[in-house]
Amino acid sequence: MLQVSIYRYNPETDSAPYMQEFQVDTQGRDLMVLNVLELIKQQDSSMAYRRSCREGVCGSDGMNINGTNGLACVTPLSDVVKSNKLVLRPLPGLPVVRDLVVDMGIFYKQYERIQPYLQNDTTPPAIERLQSPEERDKLDGLYECILCACCSTACPSFWWNPDKFVGPAGLLQAYRFLADSRDTAARERLAELEDPFSVFRCRGIMNCVAVCPKGLNPTRAIGKIRELLLENAT
Amino acid sequence: MSTMRNLSFDAIIIGGGGSGLRAALELAKSGKKTAVLSKVFPTRSHTVSAQGGITCAIASADPNDDWRWHMYDTVKGSDYIADQDAAEYMCTEGPKAVFELEHMGLPFSRFDNGRIYQRPFGGQSKNFGEGGQAARTCAAADRTGHALLHTLYQNNLKNNTVFLNEWYAIDLVKNAQGDVVGCIALCIETGEIVHVKSKATVLATGGAGRIFASTTNALINTGDGIGMALRAGFPMQDMEMWQFHPTGIYGAGTLVTEGCRGEGGYLINKDGERFMERYAPNAKDLAGRDVVARSMVMEMLEGRGCGENGDHVMLKLDHLGEEVLQKRLPGIVELSKTFAHVDPAKEPIPVVPTCHYMMGGIPTNVHGQAIMQDGDGNDQIVNGLFACGEAACVSVHGANRLGGNSLLDLVVFGRAAGMFIEGALNEGIDYLAASQSDIDASMARLNRWNESSGGEAVAELKAELQDVMQNDFGVFRKEENMQNGVRKLSDLRERIANAHLSDKSNTFNTARVEALELDNLLEVAEATAISALERKESRGAHSRYDYPDRDDVNWLKHSIYFPVEKRLGKRDVNFTPKTVDTFEPKVRTY
């Protein structure tokens, strides 16, 4: 029997959060953490968590798994369980709505702040805008972000200044548009980011890189933005 | 009960996937008061899982490509029950819709000349089947759905669309004249119940693959829009037509794109034989999905399946080389390692046909207007109700959808619905308001769950329903099994009507949402089962042992299911495209 300890909090009935213990019979299978949660929900239907695609592309089920942020649906027990113990907590640093469900509001707000859409003030051609494979390659490692918030909620700078520091997820997307040969708003985008907080609160701790379930590298993208900001300033 | 809050919009779009976001974008740009109501944050919608691409004759891979060839393939793929006016609309409007996506920023992969990368997909041909394999599927590596969904969400942000994220639509509200005038919805975070009034209600709620035990679909694909429409008494079309994708990962059900075979991968049986050469000598592994899925099952039934139980086959990709896999199929490499513990650069992936797509749905015209039949069997528009995407049946997919046509369907018909609604709103829409008793009727099932004090648990009933569908309505169907299945579903209906919601709390109560979803799964399952039992022929994805042949005399028709009487009728297929000659039904071989 796997010992599972889960953060519980329902604001309607609980004065404070607590950890609840469950025993789960995995029948020796190397289940995903999400499968364990599904088994627990059969025992206790009041357990709340988000989930959708169950294959690591929708970004719903980011949570803190034995101390590290990750997606429950693509984290096998064999990767995280030691001494037969699994501890699940909500993503750190965001307000808890209930159990493993956090309020993602400020995370989305930082994403919206970087104007996450292509801006091009020229009239589009009758067909697609052309882009060479080399130019398109520059978007690899950037556009794949699934907005799961594993990175930003693992970032001490984001914990301290979630309202002023864009955070690794938002900055990765900021660079995704800066790097796009079709985007013509680079100057305006950089102007929005040049204050001491938006980008420069990044201390290069690289927790974001360590936890990204898609293997992306926000720290590198932030470095590129810094270079562009410095180039712009000189 | 305290007074219910009202929200009022020109148009409410239920569902935040590809078709809903495309419709919303059109309406937001027009300045109409529009909201998207989605049970998940929009980028968690199932469109995100689409991999291989969006099929469209943009003439990039082949400068001579022609939308008529795409239309021919679509009609042939449908086994001739796609509506030819709708297929024509999709194939002609498609390039515009795809170029718009590119202009919005969708990061398509590229050819050396800078144009959008296109890969071969199943069922594609040049020159009306005479010119060999085409390469018509526009791709962003193997993450096209993700790229498309995020691009649409981003552009909705840009255009200030109102989002009601993590809200769940419970039932449609109809006025005394039967017009749809909005819905009842639940804010998942707070538990608040709201009456959403709207002049146009768009069901963009996607598919319902979760009626089967094994599916490539997301856990959220519970057919909520289909359930709502059926409970409101509206008919469904071609619900027996479910696509089983040839390559779901064995055991996990997760999708492996047809693009793998488009890039040169192929299926092998336990003897290492490329068996599709026997079943489809020309197209081989790129035959229609229904053909490939049946061939795989035949291999297994004849003892040539792989593994101890002979219950899967293998998808071979290693000969493509690491570079092609990393460049063109990086997501598949990741999924294979995670869910099959296989590195496709070294070993083949174990795969099995897996429920993937609902060809049927709410019958609509090309403007997304929902259709019902009057007493004489004539089409009649349902005032106020629209559908697009997988929830709708326009029908461009008929009895079998071609790979890459679902994403095109989403954007073309989401856009079309948005444009039509904008025009209708400009002309003025005025329906009778709902009365209190109309609203009470739409609250009935929520009240039932909220007042339940005992009974069976939701999770067990759901598992039982999924097993019935899996066992009795799979790739091959038998009369006797289907009759049993229909009986079991009828029994399940009674038990679900008495099932128990134990958690009555308000804050982010996912148990309540799952209970409400179960009602929808049941509606979809029963419509599927009765339609499958009554269509006495084999066509496209619907294969029966007892009626192994296509019967064009009796069944070159849509089926249309009436939920109140649980009766199956027929509806004419459109054979009159506007600008090309009719594609006459032929024997369908690949």
The pLDDT tens digits of the residues spanning B322-334 come to 999 999 999 999 9
pLDDT of residue B553: 98
Q: What ipTM was predicted for this assembly?
A: 0.98
pLDDT of residue A233: 79
CA dihedral of B153, B155, B160, B162, whole degrees rounded to 10: -20
Partner residue facing A124 (CB), from B103, B112, B115: B103
Taking the C-alpha atoms of residue B554 and residue B536, their distance in angstroms, rounded to an integer, is: 9
Partner residue facing B459 (CB), from A42, A55, A128: A42
Partner residue facing B44 (CB), from A58, A74, A132: A58
Distances (CA, A) of B287 to A57, B52, B277, B426: 28, 16, 10, 45
What is the residue type of B209? G
- And the tokens for B405? 């046509």
Residue among B261, B289, B415, B588 flagged as catalytic: B289
State phi, psi for B479 to the nearest 5 degrees.
-50, -50
Give chain A positions within 8 Å (CB) of B105: 117-118, 177, 180, 182-183
Give chain A positions within 8 Å (CB) of B158: 115, 117
Burial of A178 (0-12, 13-18, 19+ CB in 10 A): buried
Give chain B positions within 8 Å (CB) of A130: 113-115
The answer to whether A136 faces chain B, any CB pair under 8 Å, is yes
Partner residue facing A52 (CB), from B40, B146, B254: B40
The answer to whether A118 faces chain B, any CB pair under 8 Å, is yes
Taking the C-alpha atoms of residue B450 and residue B137, their distance in angstroms, rounded to an integer, is: 47
CA dihedral of B166, B171, B173, B178, whole degrees rounded to 10: 140
The DSSP code for B62 is S
- Which residues 6+ apart lie within 8 Å of B395 measured at CB? B78, B81, B82, B83, B86, B237, B238, B359, B363, B558
Average pLDDT over residues B278-286: 96
Does B328 participate in catalysis according to the annotation? no
Q: Could you read off the pLDDT of B499-512 as tens digits, one per residue?
A: 999 999 999 999 99
Q: A57 vs B48: CB contact, 8 Å cut-off?
A: yes
- And the tokens for A150? 């594993």
Q: Annotation-wise, does B307 bind a ligand?
A: no
Q: B115 vs A42: CB contact, 8 Å cut-off?
A: no
Average pLDDT over residues B566-575: 97
Taking the C-alpha atoms of residue A91 and residue B233, their distance in angstroms, rounded to an integer, is: 43
Give chain A positions within 8 Å (CB) of B40: 50, 52, 58, 60
Give chain B positions within 8 Å (CB) of A11: 507
The answer to whether A182 faces chain B, any CB pair under 8 Å, is yes
Select from 3.90.700.10, 3.40.50.10490, 3.40.50.700, 3.40.50.1370 the CATH code of B247-357: 3.90.700.10
Minimal-distance CA residue of chain B relative to A103: B189
Share of chain B above pLDDT 90, in %: 99
Distances (CA, A) of B66 to B70, B77, B128, B576: 7, 17, 10, 19
pLDDT at B2 over 60: no
Q: Could you read off the pLDDT of B338-358 as tens digits, one per residue?
A: 999 999 999 999 999 999 999
Select from 3.30.420.40, 1.20.58.100, 2.60.40.10, 1.10.3720.10 the CATH code of B443-557: 1.20.58.100
| Nearest alpha carbon to residue B449 among B385, B505, B384 | B505
Partner residue facing A57 (CB), from B49, B102, B508: B49
The answer to whether B505 faces chain A, any CB pair under 8 Å, is yes
Give chain B positions within 8 Å (CB) of A42: 457, 459
Mutate to test the interface with A, among B29, B41, B46, B166 (most CBs of A within 10 A): B41
Please answer whether residues B444 and B173 qualify as being in contact, where contact means their C-beta atoms are separated by less than 8 angstroms.
no
Q: At B557, is the pLDDT very low, low, confident or very high (cuts 50, 70, 90)? A: very high
Q: Could you read off the pLDDT of B300-314 as tens digits, one per residue?
A: 999 999 999 999 999
What is the total residue count of chain B?
Answer: 590
Average pLDDT over residues B463-488: 97
| Nearest alpha carbon to residue A35 among A82, A89, A68, A71 | A71
Q: A48 vs B155: CB contact, 8 Å cut-off?
A: no
pLDDT of residue A75: 98
Q: Could you read off the pLDDT of B37-64 as tens digits, one per residue?
A: 999 999 999 999 999 999 999 999 999 9
Q: A45 vs B458: CB contact, 8 Å cut-off?
A: yes
The answer to whether B103 faces chain A, any CB pair under 8 Å, is yes
Give chain B positions within 8 Å (CB) of A139: 107
Q: Could you read off the pLDDT of B115-157 as tens digits, one per residue?
A: 999 999 999 999 999 999 999 999 999 999 999 999 999 999 9
State phi, psi for B315 to the nearest 5 degrees.
-105, 115
| Nearest alpha carbon to residue B391 among B46, B90, B52 | B46
Q: Annotation-wise, does B578 bind a ligand?
A: no
Show the low-confidence residues of chain A (pLDDT under 50).
none
- The whole-angstrom distance between B349's CA and the closest CA on chain A is 16
Q: B105 vs A12: CB contact, 8 Å cut-off?
A: no
Longest Cα–Cα distance in chain A: 63
Mutate to test the interface with B, among A43, A53, A77 (most CBs of B within 10 A): A53
Q: Annotation-wise, does B51 bind a ligand?
A: yes
Q: A60 vs B44: CB contact, 8 Å cut-off?
A: yes
Q: Could you read off the pLDDT of B149-178 as tens digits, one per residue?
A: 999 999 999 999 999 999 999 999 999 999
Q: Annotation-wise, does B48 bind a ligand?
A: yes
Q: Which residue has 């009601």 as its token pair?
A: B164
Please answer whether residues B199 and B431 qualify as being in contact, where contact means their C-beta atoms are separated by less than 8 angstroms.
yes
Please answer whether residues B323 and B292 qualify as being in contact, where contact means their C-beta atoms are separated by less than 8 angstroms.
no
Partner residue facing B99 (CB), from A112, A117, A128: A128
Burial of A16 (0-12, 13-18, 19+ CB in 10 A): exposed
| Chain B 156-195, residues with CB within 8 Å of chain A CB atoms | 157-158, 189
Please answer whether residues A101 and B511 qualify as being in contact, where contact means their C-beta atoms are separated by less than 8 angstroms.
no
- Residue B391 CA, chain-centre distance (Å), reads 6
Q: Annotation-wise, does B40 bind a ligand?
A: yes
Give chain B positions within 8 Å (CB) of A75: none
Domains B247-357 and B443-557 share a fold: no
Q: At B3, is the pLDDT very low, low, confident or very high (cuts 50, 70, 90)? A: confident
Give chain B positions within 8 Å (CB) of A97: 189, 507-508
Helix, strand and coil percent figures for chain A, each rounded to 5: 35, 15, 50
β-bridge partners, A82: A85
Q: A183 vs B115: CB contact, 8 Å cut-off?
A: no
Within chain A, strands assigned E span 2-8, 18-24, 62-65, 68-71, 85-89, 96-98, 101-102
State phi, psi for B194 to the nearest 5 degrees.
-130, 145
What is the residue extent of each domain of chain B? 247-357, 443-557
Peptide bond into B109 cis (omega under 30): no
Q: A53 vs B44: CB contact, 8 Å cut-off?
A: yes
Give chain A positions within 8 Å (CB) of B334: 56
H-helix or E-strand spanning residue B384: strand B379-387
- The whole-angstrom distance between B43's CA and the closest CA on chain A is 6
- Which DSSP string corresponds to A170-223? HHHHHHHHHT-TT---HHHHHHTT-STTTTTT-----HHHHH-TT---HHHHHH
Q: Which residue has 């740009």 as its token pair?
A: B29
Taking the C-alpha atoms of residue A182 and residue B384, their distance in angstroms, rounded to an integer, is: 40
Q: A180 vs B219: CB contact, 8 Å cut-off?
A: no
Minimal-distance CA residue of chain B relative to A133: B110
- Which residues 6+ apart lie within 8 Å of B428 measured at CB? none
Average pLDDT over residues B80-85: 98
Mutate to test the interface with B, among A7, A45, A100 (most CBs of B within 10 A): A45
pLDDT of residue A103: 98
End-to-end CA distance of chain B: 61
Please answer whether residues B31 and B132 qualify as being in contact, where contact means their C-beta atoms are separated by less than 8 angstroms.
no
Please answer whether residues B498 and B461 qualify as being in contact, where contact means their C-beta atoms are separated by less than 8 angstroms.
no
| Nearest alpha carbon to residue B86 among B442, B385, B418, B367 | B367
What is the residue type of B264? G
pLDDT of residue B1: 46
The answer to whether B116 faces chain A, any CB pair under 8 Å, is yes
- The whole-angstrom distance between B533's CA and the closest CA on chain A is 31
Q: In what order do the strands lie in the sheet with B266-268?
A: B242-249, B349-358, B313-316, B266-268
Please answer whether residues B25 and B418 qualify as being in contact, where contact means their C-beta atoms are separated by less than 8 angstroms.
yes
- And the tokens for B173? 């509200």
Could you give the domains of chain A? 2-102 (3.10.20.30), 105-233 (1.10.1060.10)
The answer to whether B214 faces chain A, any CB pair under 8 Å, is no
Q: How many CB pairs under 8 A join A and B?
A: 152
- Please give the radius of gyration of chain A, using alpha carbons only, rounded to the nearest integer: 20
